[in-house]
Amino acid sequence: MSLAGQAALVTGGGSGIGEGIAKRLGRDGAAVLVADINAEAAERVAAEIAAAGGTAVPCRTDVTDEASVDAAVAEAERRLGRLRIAVCNAGITDRVPVLEMSLSAFERVLRVNLIGCFLTARAAGRAMAKAPGEGGRIVTISSVSGQFGGTGRAAYGASKGGIEMLTRVLAVELAPHGILVNGVAPGPTQVARTAHGPRQRAAFLDRMAVKRYGTPEDVGAAVAFLCSGDNAFIAGQILNVDGGFASSGVMYDPAEGA
């Protein structure tokens, strides 16, 4: 899939899934603004994209700050050209039971994940809408945790569920501007912050048709498709990249008996 000549912004692009997305878009020819609150991480990823033959620039960005997000979009257009692709990926997680979670902790997760997604999509959408006829692609990053209840996922699950509804609203409102908005919901994905022990890994894998954790590259491939010219008629959808996790019910080997 060729994204040559298209400027892209990826929030949280300095590590994990965001890094995988940024590198895939760069490999497919997009000029990528790697936005991350960790400036050194953004610089490293941008340098690696450039070393592989792509075009990328780093930008320290705090997605909870409206001015910072607006500045990142402006920087992308100043350095790379008219913004055509935005991936709202930045996020944090938590594993705190409801009865032990403080209000400040709950609000922090929602501010980074949900409000950060809103601010990024709004800023990107405004920039794309200024170029009639050109359109664009916005992809949000949700999670299967926003589709199922799970222990220790009150704030994280609520934020990701909110992102999925926000994605649908954005799709309806931005389609008249030629902007297609969709979401990607990763399942269990192996990144540096994934610290699942054997029992937690087994609980996930038992529910998955594909018996492995996903990778940032798996997610990046899905995002690249949604951002490409091959997608001309998909809007408001959430694409699960989860190894069949959301499709599975009770799974057992019939050979083991009832």
Q: Mind telling me the catalytic residues?
A: 156
Residues 6+ apart with CB under 8 A from 173: none
8 Å CB contact between 139 and 223:
yes
Q: What is the Cα–Cα distance from 144 to 138, expressed in whole angstroms?
A: 19
Q: What is the Cα–Cα distance from 42 to 56, expressed in whole angstroms?
A: 10
Q: What is the Cα–Cα distance from 250 to 238, expressed in whole angstroms?
A: 23
Handedness of CA 206, 211, 217, 218 (dihedral sign): negative
Half-sphere exposure of 109 (CA within 13 A, CB side): 22
CB atoms within 10 A of CB 47: 13
Provide the token pair at 109.
């997760």
What is the separation of C-alpha 183 from the centre of its chain, rounded to a whole number of angstroms? Answer: 8
Q: What is the Cα–Cα distance from 72 to 70, expressed in whole angstroms?
A: 5
Q: What is the Cα–Cα distance from 156 to 153, expressed in whole angstroms?
A: 5
